């Protein structure tokens, strides 16, 4: 899985892991914070939440354009500094008045601008590593590894957000609303780690940073100029893909909004027995160890390596069994903790998906990147079909004032946590088909002159999808739950049909 990859991949992936850990720690509690701290309705909170996500994913277009002129590495560094300032501002408890709201908006804009300079350009640099013919065949696998690293950071983020908030409340005596800011402060520390990794291992990817002074180490990394016709065909194909993925992200990023509302108001807030073990992130880490050691056991070429892999599997299973025997009674479940399952599935299933597609590639039957994206849309539709079916007969969401007089959502049902755990699994299958393959497709097909801009275009499509996330907040409490989920089911299906209709054109430029 990791063999034959350029060294720079791992440095860039780890740098991104640190940044993503901080971002997802914030996102895990952000929607609930908006409602609790400012007394906002689901619709208004959803508008702010989705607008922030839109800014975060729209500004890479500007960042990509600037990087095409000034170099990707320079923009990445500036982006981290601006993000740090935004998170630092957001971590200051200022209460729930108008001034605090204005400061929060300013902090969100800084975070969005910094992410716009950092995120897309870092991924372009990953793609540039594979312009060398020695690594060209490893491009899809490389982006799968890179995407997995992102989700390692996201895996621990919900637990970090919840535990730090609880610590601020119980040990430091902060109010429930002020305690949220400690979760936001985590991002500041994670960005320091991210920039430290970036500069410590910069020598492994410096040739991929671009800019006038960047030295290209290999003639293989140089690409021929495309004709105007080829350039146009590639740009049009990419724009068609961008149009489709808008609707995937509209549905997928309900995980931080309407699906979190569902976890808070409709899902059982306690768990016991075997089920409760799923809410301990370290148990999930042990499962990941078992998965990776299992692959190593079968792929290792020496008896020593196989023995180490087998020992890791036995040790992890032993620890899990011991922890199961120690389960006693029930545990409380905080709504944000459900967001750990998506990154867990991504990390655990990435080697599985790579093995499957590697097997299909050896047989000459691996689907093209555009076809994988279309399949991903279908899988996302299935996830919301499950939610719609399970929500039939559930009551409408309800609100009531809390101790401070702010209207907040009320817990009105105790649906089994296994519903959301299963839905996140299905959504992750769709994500693995669409997101890393889409990024790889953009890096491969984008005309050399417009790599930064085209990667920015991918993020613009994500931004538009994130803006449409507000639909979940607007529908919450206005229509039956099954109807809310059916909206996302419908748009995913329509997008998949469109993608399949355009498949010949897309696969032509992908060759």
pLDDT recorded at residue 463? 86
pLDDT recorded at residue 425? 96
Backbone angles phi, psi at 412, to 5 degrees: -120, -5
CB 496 within 8 A of CB 381: yes
Asked which of 58-62, 249-253, 264-268, 320-324 is least confident by mean pLDDT, the reply is 58-62
> What value does the CA radius of gyration of the chain take, rounded to a whole number of Å?
23
pLDDT recorded at residue 28? 84
Secondary structure of the chain: what % helix, strand, coil (to 5)?
80, 5, 20
Contacts of 176 (CB under 8 A, 6+ apart): 36, 169
Sign (positive or negative) of CA dihedral 468, 474, 475, 476: positive
> How does pLDDT run across 146-188, given as a tens digit for each residue?
888 888 888 888 888 888 888 888 888 888 888 888 888 888 8
Instruction: Look up tokens 């992200």; give the residue.
Output: 249
* Helices and strands counted in the chain (H then E): 19, 4
Quickly state the pLDDT bin for 222 (edges 50, 70, 90): low
Quickly state the pLDDT bin for 404 (edges 50, 70, 90): low
Q: Taking 90 as the threshold, does the pLDDT of residue 505 lie above it?
A: no
> pTM for the full model?
0.80
Quickly state the pLDDT bin for 217 (edges 50, 70, 90): very low
pLDDT recorded at residue 95? 85
Cα 459 to Cα 57: distance, rounded to the nearest angstrom = 5
Neighbours of 229 (CB within 10 A): 8
As a residue count, the chain comes to: 511
| DSSP 8-state secondary structure symbol assigned to residue 370 | H
pLDDT recorded at residue 223? 55
pLDDT recorded at residue 216? 43
pLDDT top residue among 254 and 220:
254
**Beta bridge mates, 219:** none
CA 91 and chain centroid, separation? 22
Specify the 3-state DSSP secondary structure of 399.
strand
b/e burial code for range 416-438 (CB count within 10 A of at least 16 → b): ebebbbbbbebbbbbbbbbbbbb
CB 317 within 8 A of CB 308: no
Contacts of 464 (CB under 8 A, 6+ apart): 54, 58, 246, 249
pLDDT top residue among 351 and 140:
351
**Beta bridge mates, 332:** 270
Instruction: Look up tokens 């990023």; give the residue.
Output: 253
User: Average pLDDT, stretch 455-480?
Assistant: 87
Quickly state the pLDDT bin for 487 (edges 50, 70, 90): very high
Following CA atoms 170, 19, 379, 389 in sequence, which dihedral angle do they give, to the nearest 10 degrees? 20
Quickly state the pLDDT bin for 495 (edges 50, 70, 90): very high
Contacts of 277 (CB under 8 A, 6+ apart): 283, 320, 323, 324, 327
Quickly state the pLDDT bin for 394 (edges 50, 70, 90): very high
pLDDT recorded at residue 160? 87
Neighbours of 5 (CB within 10 A): 18
User: Average pLDDT, stretch 281-299?
Assistant: 92
b/e burial code for range 23-52 (CB count within 10 A of at least 16 → b): bbbbbbbbbbbbbbbbbbbbbbbbbbbbbb
Quickly state the pLDDT bin for 219 (edges 50, 70, 90): very low
Asked which of 174-183, 266-275, 369-378 is least confident by mean pLDDT, the reply is 174-183
Most confident of 120-129, 317-326, 429-438: 317-326
Q: Taking 80 as the threshold, does the pLDDT of residue 407 lie above it?
A: no
pLDDT recorded at residue 119? 80
CB 368 within 8 A of CB 425: no
**Beta bridge mates, 415:** 267
Axis-axis angle for helices 418-445, 503-510 (nearest 10): 60
Cα 24 to Cα 435: distance, rounded to the nearest angstrom = 17
Cα 471 to Cα 253: distance, rounded to the nearest angstrom = 11
CB 103 within 8 A of CB 86: no
> How does pLDDT run across 2-39, given as a tens digit for each residue?
677 888 898 898 898 888 888 888 888 888 888 888 88
CB 205 within 8 A of CB 129: yes
CB 260 within 8 A of CB 403: no
Instruction: Look up tokens 């995407």; give the residue.
Output: 147
**If you write DSSP's letter for every residue of 235-301 in order, what string do you get?**
HHHHHHHHHHHHHHHHHHGGGGTHHHHHHHHTB-SEEEHHHHGGG-HHHHHHHHHHHHHHHHHHH--
Cα 328 to Cα 169: distance, rounded to the nearest angstrom = 25
CB 149 within 8 A of CB 167: no
Quickly state the pLDDT bin for 476 (edges 50, 70, 90): very high
Q: What is the mean pLDDT of the chain?
A: 87
Quickly state the pLDDT bin for 65 (edges 50, 70, 90): confident
CB 26 within 8 A of CB 112: no
Q: Taking 50 as the threshold, does the pLDDT of residue 328 lie above it?
A: yes
Neighbours of 160 (CB within 10 A): 21
Quickly state the pLDDT bin for 427 (edges 50, 70, 90): very high
**If you write DSSP's letter for every residue of 214-236 in order, what string do you get?**
PPP--GGG--PPPPHHHHHHHHH
Specify the 3-state DSSP secondary structure of 150.
helix
pLDDT recorded at residue 218? 41
- CATH fold of 7-204+233-269+333-510 reads Growth Hormone; Chain: A; (1.20.1250)
């Amino acid at each position: 899985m990791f063999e034959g990859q350029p060294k720079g991949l791992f440095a860039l992936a780890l740098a991104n892991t640190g940044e993503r850990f901080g971002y997802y720690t914030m996102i895990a509690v952000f929607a609930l914070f908006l409602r609790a701290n400012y007394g906002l309705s689901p619709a208004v909170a959803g508008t702010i939440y989705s607008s922030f996500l839109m800014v975060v994913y729209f500004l890479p277009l500007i960042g990509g354009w600037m990087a095409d002129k000034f170099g990707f590495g320079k923009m990445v560094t500036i982006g981290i500094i601006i993000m740090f300032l935004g998170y630092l501002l957001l971590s200051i408890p200022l209460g729930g008045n108008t001034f605090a709201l204005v400061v929060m908006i300013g902090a969100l804009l800084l975070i969005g601008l910094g992410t716009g300079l950092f995120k897309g350009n870092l991924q372009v640099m990953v793609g540039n590593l594979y312009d060398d013919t020695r690594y060209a065949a490893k491009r899809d696998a490389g982006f799968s590894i890179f995407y997995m690293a992102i989700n390692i950071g996201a895996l621990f983020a919900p637990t970090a957000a919840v535990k730090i908030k609880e610590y601020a409340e119980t040990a430091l005596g902060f109010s429930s609303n002020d305690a949220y800011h400690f979760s936001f402060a985590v991002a500041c520390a994670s960005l320091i780690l991210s920039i430290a990794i970036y500069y410590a291992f910069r020598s492994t990817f410096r040739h991929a940073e671009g800019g006038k002074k960047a030295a290209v180490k290999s003639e293989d990394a140089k690409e021929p100029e495309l004709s105007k016709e080829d350039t146009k065909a590639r740009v049009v194909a990419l724009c068609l893909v961008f149009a489709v993925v808008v609707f995937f992200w509209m549905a997928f990023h309900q995980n931080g909004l309407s699906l979190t509302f569902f976890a808070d108001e409709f899902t059982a807030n306690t768990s016991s027995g075997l089920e409760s073990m799923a809410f301990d992130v370290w148990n999930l880490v042990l499962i990941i160890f078992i998965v990776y050691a299992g692959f190593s056991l079968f792929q290792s070429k020496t008896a020593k390596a196989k023995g180490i892999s087998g020992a890791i599997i036995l040790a992890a299973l032993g620890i899990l069994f011991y922890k199961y025997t120690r389960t006693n009674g029930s545990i409380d479940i905080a709504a944000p903790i459900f967001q750990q399952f998506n990154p867990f599935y991504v990390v655990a299933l990435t080697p599985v998906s790579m093995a499957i597609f590697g097997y299909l590639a050896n047989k000459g039957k691996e689907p093209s990147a555009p076809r994988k994206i279309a399949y991903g849309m279908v899988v996302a539709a299935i996830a919301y079909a499950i939610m719609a079916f399970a929500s039939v007969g559930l009551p409408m969401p309800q609100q009531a004032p809390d101790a401070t007089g702010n209207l907040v959502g009320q817990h009105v049902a105790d649906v089994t946590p296994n519903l959301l755990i299963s839905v996140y699994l299905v959504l992750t299958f769709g994500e693995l088909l669409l997101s890393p393959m889409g990024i790889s497709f953009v890096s491969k097909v984008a005309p050399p002159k417009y790599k930064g801009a085209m990667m920015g275009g991918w993020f613009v499509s994500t931004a538009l999808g994130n803006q449409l996330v507000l639909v979940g907040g607007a529908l919450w409490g206005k229509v039956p739950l099954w109807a809310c989920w059916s909206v996302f089911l419908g748009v995913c299906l329509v997008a998949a049909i469109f993608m399949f209709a355009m498949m010949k054109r897309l696969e032509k430029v992908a060759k």
